[in-house]
Chains A and B, each alone.
Chain A
Amino acid sequence: MALIDLDKVGLTFRVRTYGRITFKEYLVKGMFRRRATQTMEVRALDDITLRLGEGDRIGIIGANGAGKSTLLRVLAGVYQPTAGRRTVVGKIASLFEITLGFEMEANGWENIGFRGYFQGETPRTLRDKVAQIAEFSELGDFLNMPLRYYSAGMLVRLAFSIATTIQPEILIVDEVLSAGDLAFQCKARARIEQLFDHARLVVMVSHDLQSIASLCNRVILLDHGRIRQIGPAAQVIATYEQQAHAPELKAA
C-alpha cells in the first residue's frame, strides 16, 4: 500500500536577511521588539492539494524556483508543512542532491554502509546488495579509496547506485537523469525505468521533458509555489512550453 495525501499544504520559509547582527543591535532590538533578527518570509508552497496513490508515476515540472524540490522534500517528510496536512503510507526512499551526505574521509564500501543503514538496512539485508551496488557503479578498485579523491562523476555514480539498489515502496527523485557520463546516463535511465516498474509510487522532478513524457502518467506543473496544472503528460508539458515561450512572444 502506497499513498501520499497532501491537503491544502503550504510552506513558508523564514530566511534571515542578513547574517550578522551587532551586540548593540541585539540588545536594543531585543529590548524594544520581540524579534532581534530581521527575517524575510518566502512562501515556497501554497495551497497544494494532491492525492497520489498506488501505481502513480508523477512528474513535476516548472521554472527554477517554482517550488519543485521543496515539494519533493515535503513529500519525503524532510520539511514539515507550515500549513495543511500531509499523510503518507509506505516506505519512502529519496534521491535528492545526490552527492549530499557522504563521509568524505571514508572509502566507497563504508559509504555504501552509511547510506544503506540510514535508509534502515541492517548488515544482513545489506550484505547481498553491496555486491550489486559495487557492480552497478563500475567503480572497481576506486571503492577502496576515500571519497575525497573521487571526481564529481564518480560520486554521482556511487550515490545513484546505492539509492537505486534499495527498492522502496515510494521513490522520490530529484533531477538524477543527468548523472555521470554518457554511458552511465544510458544505464541510469534503464535503472530508473526498472525502478519505475517496481516501486508502487514514484515522484520525480526533471527538466528533461522527454523522459518525463515517457516515464510519467501524470504531470504537475508548478508555478510560484502553486499547482498551475495537473494532468496527462502531453497536455501539461504543452502548457509549460507555452509558458516558457510567452516572454519571447510578447517581445515579438
Chain B
Amino acid sequence: MVAYLADIWRLRYFWSSLVRIDLRNRYRRSVLGIGWSLLHPILMTAVLCAVFCPLFRIDYRQFAPYLLAGLAFWNFLVTTSTNGCHCFFQGEAYIRQQAAPLVIYPLRTVLGTAIHGLAAMSVVLIFTWCMNGFGNLPALISLVPSLTLIFLLGWSLALCFGITNVIFQDTQHLTEVLFQILFYLTPVMYPSKLLAERRMDWLVRYNPLASFLELVRVPILEGQLPPWSAFATALGTVLVLMTAGAIAVSRLERRLIFYL
C-alpha cells in the first residue's frame, strides 16, 4: 500500500506533465481557451434564470449563484465520469510500455477536469461576491475539505468507470444516460426547497449527490458551515467508492492489460 502510493508519487512529473498537455490540447487554436469552461455555466445560468426565475417566483440574486454553483459541481462530475471511461484506453500506449500504478491514469483525467472545476468555482465565488457581498470567511474555508472530498469522489468515479468500461464497453454510453437521469433527480437546476413543499424531499434525502451540492452551496450562498449530516454522507459516499476502486484495482492491476 505504502509502496504503491510511493510509486504514484515517484511518477508525479509524468502524470502532471500529461495533465498540462491535455489542458493545452483541449484549447489548441481556440481564441477563448479556458474561458470556454467559464462561459459555459454562465450562459446556462443566464438562460435558466430567464426561464425559471419568473416560473418559480424566485429572485435572480438568489437563484443565479445557486445555479452556477450547482452547474460547476455537476459539470465536473459528468466530465470526470465520461472522460474517466476512456482513461485506460487513453493511457494504453504507456500501460503496454511499462508497469506503473494503474490509478495514475484516472488521476490524469480527474486533475484535468478539476482544474476546469476550480475555474468554474472561482466564477461562482466572484459572482456571488459581486451580487451579495463577501461571505462568511470560516464558512468559505470549509470549502477546502469539501472540494478535497469532491476531488476524491471524481478520482474514484473515474477509476471505477474506467475499469468497468475496459471490461464492458457499453459503460460509456450507460454513463451518459445515467447522468442525464441523475441530473433531473438531483436538485441542480431546481431549488431543493421546492421539493420539500411538494413532499418530495425524499429525493434529496436519499441522494448522496445532493449532499455534495449542499457542501458547495451552503457556505457560498448562505454563509454558514454546511450541516454535519451532509459532510458525513459525502464522506461515506467517497469512502465506499474509494474502497470499490481499491478492490477493483488490487484485483485487476496486472490483468487489465489483457482486456485492453
Contacts and interface: CB of A to CB of B under 8 A. Distances in A.
B258 A118 contact: no
Interface residues of A, number: 28
Nearest to B28: A105
Given A105-B28, A117-B13, A78 B97 contact: yes
B98 A119 contact: yes
Given A14-B258, A110-B17, A118 B100 contact: yes
A215 interface: no
A105 B24 CA distance: 9
A122 B14 CA distance: 9
A9 B95 CA distance: 21
Interface of B: 10-11, 13-14, 17-18, 21, 24-25, 28, 93-100, 254-255, 257-258
A13 interface: yes
A114 interface: yes
Contact of A78 (B10, B11, B17, B99): B99
Nearest to B10: A120
A248 B71 CA distance: 71
Given A94-B98, A110-B21, A121 B13 contact: yes
14 contacts: A76-B99, A78-B98, A79-B257, A79-B258, A80-B254, A80-B255, A101-B94, A105-B25, A117-B13, A117-B14, A117-B17, A118-B97, A122-B13, A123-B13
A114 B10 CA distance: 13
Contacts of B257: 78-79
A13 B259 CA distance: 10
B90 to A, nearest CB: 10
A77 interface: yes
Given A76-B99, A101-B96, 6 more contacts: A78-B98, A100-B97, A101-B93, A110-B21, A113-B17, A117-B13
B18 A114 contact: yes
A99 to B, nearest CB: 9
A32 B95 CA distance: 35
Nearest to B104: A118
Contacts of B24: 105
Nearest to B18: A114
Interface string A81-125: 000000000001010110011110110001001100111111100
A80 B250 CA distance: 13
A76 B98 contact: yes
Interface string A118-134: 11111100000000000
Contacts of A94: 97-98
Question: 8 nearest interchain CB pairs?
Answer: A80-B254, A101-B93, A117-B14, A117-B13, A77-B99, A100-B93, A118-B14, A101-B97
